[in-house]
Amino acid sequence: MPNAAELTRIACVEDEPDLRRICELTLTRLGGFEVATYADGPSALAGLAGFDPDLLLLDVMLPGLDGPAVLAALRARPEFAELPVAFMTAKAQPAEIARFRALGACDVIVKPFDPMALSDRVRGIWAKLEEP
C-alpha cells in the first residue's frame, strides 16, 4: 500500500480507444502523471512489470479477460499483491460497488466520468489510501 509516497505513475486499462486516449491526455497533460495505457488484460499483465505503476485504473468490462480476472491475476503475483486498483465501470449499483471492493478494488470510478476531473479524482483516491 502507498505510504506517504507520491503518486506519479498511473496505468490505465481501457478497451475503448477514445476513452483510453482521453484518460492518457488528461492524466499526463492536466495531472502531470506518467501514464501507461493498455487496451486489454493480457497486454496489461505483460506490460505492468516494466512500468511499475503506483495506481492502476482498470475497466471492468474488457473483452476476453475482464477487469476482475485481471485483478485476480495481478494479486497472484507478489509484485502486484498490494498494488492499488480502482475499477472503472458504468455498473455502479451499491451491490456491484460492494462486490468490486470485496474483490480487492480500492475504489470505483463510475462511468461516465468527467475526464477533465479525472486527475483530481485519482488524487482523491490516493489521499484516501494514505489515511491511517
Residue closer to another protein (CB basis): 46 or 90: 90
- Residue 123 makes contact with another protein by CB under 8 A: no
Q: Are 71 and 27 in contact (CB under 8 A)?
A: no
| Chain centroid to CA 45 | 13
Size of the site for another protein (CB under 8 A): 16
Distance CA 31, CA 24 (A): 10
Residue closer to another protein (CB basis): 9 or 20: 20
Residue closer to another protein (CB basis): 22 or 97: 22
Q: Are 37 and 24 in contact (CB under 8 A)?
A: yes
Of 9, 22, 39, 66, the one binding another protein by CB under 8 A: 22
| Phi, psi dihedral angles at 10 (to 5 degrees) | -125, 130
Of 9, 75, 91, 111, the one binding another protein by CB under 8 A: 111
Of 49, 92, 98, 116, the one binding another protein by CB under 8 A: 116
Distance CA 41, CA 26 (A): 22
